[in-house]
Amino acid sequence: MAVSAVLAGPTDVEALEDVLQAAFWDDPVMTFLFPDAPSRARRSARLFRALLHRHYLPMRTVWTTADQTGAALWAPPGHWKLPTAQVVRSLPAVAMSLGRHAPRSLRFMDEIDRIHPGDPHWYLGVLGTDPPHQGRGIGSALMAPVLTRCDAEGVPAYLESSKQSNVAFYARHGFAVVGEVQPRGGPTLYRMWREPQRP
């Protein structure tokens, strides 16, 4: 059965934070940010909740499925970075999720932000599928609305992949590795850029 993407709203947050924490439980970035395995699910869910509420949902750029088995968190051109006011409002929730590792984790995030491309682009901040549903085309379906728009409007897209095993998946959708970055003490991230495709 074909999978289709729908725009997510505030009532989807509880389900999506749970799906994302499960999808990213063994992700290199999550294991770096939350090295304590027993509390990782709870803490990462808090972080995803803050990202959804404070940044992505207000822009209406979160796609999910009818049964909430995955989520794609996109930022439109010029809006990938959280405005300072939003960062300040989010600090208590972010600090609570990161716990005693907050200073190290915030330095890690800042290093990644500093090399973010300056050219206008759509940014795929998060893409995750509930583990039991992976391999069924959900991730592709969740990217499709924005990639179609990128192609129609002639706008590039950008992401960072924290797993080398996912690079081939993104390559099938037109992304190419343009560099690697390994913030101090953290995992390697693969920076991937996609030029708009002709129909």
Which region among 38-47, 66-75, 141-150 has the lowest average model confidence (pLDDT)? 38-47
pLDDT band at 24; cut points 50, 70, 90: very high
- Give the three-class secondary structure for 72: strand
pTM: 0.88
The pLDDT value recorded for residue 36 is: 87
For residue 78, what are its two tokens?
């010029």
* Residues 34-66 as b or e (16 or more Cβ within 10 Å = b): beeeeebbebbbbbbbbbbbbbbbeeebbbbbe
What pLDDT shows up at residue 193? 98
pLDDT above 70 for 87:
no
Domain-by-domain residue ranges, the chain? 6-194
Q: What is the mean pLDDT of residues 127-142?
A: 95
> What is the mean pLDDT of the segment spanning 127-132?
96
3-state secondary structure of 102: helix
| Token representation of residue 118 | 């300056």
What is 6-194's CATH superfamily?
Answer: Gcn5-related N-acetyltransferase (GNAT) (3.40.630.30)
What's the pLDDT at 140?
A: 96
Give the residue among 136, 117, 129, 135 at the shortest CA–CA distance from 175: 117
